[in-house]
Amino acid sequence: MKKREFKAESKRLLDLMINSIYTNKDIFLRELISNASDAIDKLYYKSLTEKNISISKDELNIRIDIDKENRKIVISDNGCGMTDSELENNLGTIAKSGSLAFKQENEEQEDVNIIGQFGVGFYSAFMVSKSIEVLSKSYGSDKAYLWKSSGEDGYTIEEATKDTNGTTITLNIKDDTEDVKYSDYLEEYKIRSIVKKYSDYIRYPIIMKVENRVLKEGSKDEYETVIEDNTLNSMTPIWKKNKNEITEEEYSNFYTDKFYDYEKPMKVMHTSVEGNCTYTSILFIPNHAPYDLYSKEYEKGLQLYSNDILIMDKCSELLPDYFNFVKGIVESPDLSLNISREMLQQDRKLQIIAKNIETKIKKELLDMLNDNREEYQKFFKTFGTQIKYGIYNDYGMNKEKLQDLLMFYSSNKKDYITLKEYIEQINEGQEVIYYACGETVDKIDMLPQVEQVKDEGYDILYLTEYVDEFVIKTLMNYENKNFVNICSKDVNLGDAKEKEKLEKINNKNKDMLSSMKEVLKDKIESVRFTNRLKNHPLCLTTEGDISIEMEKVINAMPTDEKIHAKTILEINENHPIAEKLIKLYKEDKDTFDKYTKILYSQARLIEGLTIENPTEISNIICELISK
């Protein structure tokens, strides 16, 4: 028997492929099962058009048998089989796909549904096998042939005997190495789980003999081991069913099974698109965030199927980052699927599907916002942060797309509202959108600056999450209205007369105010009197881009870079403390300096900042008390 060389640089390719293309070894089984399913498809298809072929549909199946002792996995089908020249042509050349040729020849026939167009599928079995034997008998032929190869050094084909048509592939599983425990593939549970994961929706039964322990007949406590055939795959994918035939429960079960959730999803979106790019997608918004959503380990993505075979478990190209919490599947017969992720990324059809999916999710969320506010609020509480990141990331590239999905707490409504709703109820002549930042709604509500803005009838958005302010800064404005932090000096309330009066007071006490600034040195930019604090004695305001909240957030990050908000100490000119200061400045400069330090520390505490020199401040207070 002549040993034949693999054709066309196959050797090198084979090597390359085994070692690099498929990093996930499990998929060898998917490839072989797909081939078997294709082969049965082909025979079945032929039987429809050729009278002399009669097959019984019920008997079409794929078998997997494990021989642990001899380290063999046997995969057999009763499909079309291969002649010797087909064995030579199909398995002698890597990347020549027989399925593809068949599909092209029969392009007009609608019924042709051939899954394997990947070209190198069969050879992936060498990832786990020392050697492979393919025993095949073409339907209608009386001869069978045995193809053998150990990968690198070519293959042989010899005549053999086989009773029935179809192909039987025997894999001689590699010995375990330090890195890979190939023996795992000889375990029933392993095979079962790979089939479930990748080939659950293959149309033909995938049967494996399994050992079951059952009660002995007539006995109550004696068991015996029986070997039974077990069908591993469920065969009908939910997306093959008619949309209006699927019950809510079926969706829920599919979701919880597939995505390992214990709770049913908040929302199901089922879309079927036909035409240029045909696909079906079933998407789910979970009811709660996965525990690792905000960790680096979290992988977004949808399951991608082509003709009911899982191609990729988490196809990240199908989901934008800001919708990374969405789970689901996409099935498309149209994808020219290639094994590498890089090629998939460039696939135009995949890009179209991704675009459609994004639009669909957004529309669904806006609908939820309009039709079921309670549900939307729950959604936003769970996943809103992700949407916020979406606005802030990529230099705000997606801000327009996402801004209407945002919600913030409103001081007027005492509930969450959208930016659109803020604008809809805005006061006449109000040119800006007011916001304030803090740890909680209650804490913000207690900020000295809040009172006057509220009293003047303006609504304030309370930002309590640390990304919030970055979001606002990225948005810059909404419907031509700028965002203004009520704690910044940009707030411009009160009438002209009052402002003039305030300016006079500030001018008159210029020396005193700069003396306070001197005491506090570069901790603050300046000190001034204000008339916007109602009953509160003092506050810290900021000027420039960095707010106090931002300073807190950024300085809490584990980097060396520390930032400082430019702060101004404001003192309520209507509060008795103002008068006291003016008096002390003239009469007792030493106490005046001490008061200044205490007032500054108080202002920091109000803002949720720490006191920089607690011992000094504590000593001063005790000294003053003891007087």
Interface residues toward ligand ADP, by CB under 6 A: 31, 35-36, 39, 77, 79-82, 90-91, 97-99, 116-123, 167
- What is the spatial order of strands in the sheet that 129-137 belongs to? 155-160, 144-149, 129-137, 166-173, 72-77, 62-67, 206-215, 223-231
d(CA 611, CA 598): 10
CB of 345 to ligand ADP, least distance (A): 21
- When CB distances to ligand ADP are compared, the closest residue is 98
State which residue, 118 or 434, has the beta carbon closest to ligand ADP. Answer: 118
d(CA 450, CA 458): 10
CB of 76 to ligand ADP, least distance (A): 8
State which residue, 31 or 468, has the beta carbon closest to ligand ADP. Answer: 31
State which residue, 99 or 324, has the beta carbon closest to ligand ADP. Answer: 99
d(CA 146, CA 6): 16
For 529-571, what is the HEC assignment? EECCCCCCCEEEEEECCCCHHHHHHHHHCCCCCCCCCEEEEEE
**Element (DSSP H or E) covering residue 410:** strand 408-410
| Residue 307 neighbours by CB under 8 Å, 6+ apart | 113, 114, 115, 331, 333
d(CA 124, CA 286): 36
CB of 33 to ligand ADP, least distance (A): 9
CB of 188 to ligand ADP, least distance (A): 22
CB of 79 to ligand ADP, least distance (A): 5
Place of tokens 């072929």: 53
CB of 72 to ligand ADP, least distance (A): 17
d(CA 174, CA 71): 8
Burial 222-240 (b: 16+ CB within 10 A, else e): eeeeeeeeeebbeeebbbe
CB of 315 to ligand ADP, least distance (A): 20
State which residue, 117 or 386, has the beta carbon closest to ligand ADP. Answer: 117
**Strand segments (E) across 423-505:** 432-437, 460-463, 477-478, 481-485
State which residue, 116 or 286, has the beta carbon closest to ligand ADP. Answer: 116
Compute the half-sphere exposure of residue 344: CA atoms within 13 Å on the CB side of its CA.
18
CB of 119 to ligand ADP, least distance (A): 5
| Residue-by-residue DSSP string for 253-302 | HHHHHHHT-SS--SEEEEEEE-SSS-EEEEEEE-SS--TTTTSTT----E
CB of 101 to ligand ADP, least distance (A): 8
Q: Please, are residues 527 and 578 in contact by the beta-carbon 8 Å criterion?
A: no
State which residue, 37 or 398, has the beta carbon closest to ligand ADP. Answer: 37
Q: How far apart are the first and last CA of the chain?
A: 113
Read off the tokens for 483: 């965002």
Max alpha carbon distance in the chain (Å)? 119
CB of 168 to ligand ADP, least distance (A): 9
State which residue, 40 or 584, has the beta carbon closest to ligand ADP. Answer: 40
State which residue, 10 or 572, has the beta carbon closest to ligand ADP. Answer: 10
3-class secondary-structure state, position 605: helix
State which residue, 59 or 431, has the beta carbon closest to ligand ADP. Answer: 59
CB of 133 to ligand ADP, least distance (A): 13
DSSP conformation class of 55: -
State which residue, 87 or 539, has the beta carbon closest to ligand ADP. Answer: 87
DSSP conformation class of 322: G
State which residue, 36 or 453, has the beta carbon closest to ligand ADP. Answer: 36
CB of 138 to ligand ADP, least distance (A): 9
State which residue, 138 or 332, has the beta carbon closest to ligand ADP. Answer: 138
CB of 192 to ligand ADP, least distance (A): 21
| Residue-by-residue DSSP string for 187-203 | SHHHHHHHHHHHSTT-S
Q: Is the dihedral of CA 430, 436, 440, 446 positive or negative?
A: negative
State which residue, 121 or 265, has the beta carbon closest to ligand ADP. Answer: 121
State which residue, 13 or 293, has the beta carbon closest to ligand ADP. Answer: 13
CB of 395 to ligand ADP, least distance (A): 42
d(CA 310, CA 228): 27
Q: What are phi and psi of 439, to 5 degrees?
A: -70, -40
CB of 29 to ligand ADP, least distance (A): 12
State which residue, 97 or 306, has the beta carbon closest to ligand ADP. Answer: 97
Compute the half-sphere exposure of residue 495: CA atoms within 13 Å on the CB side of its CA.
1
d(CA 22, CA 256): 29
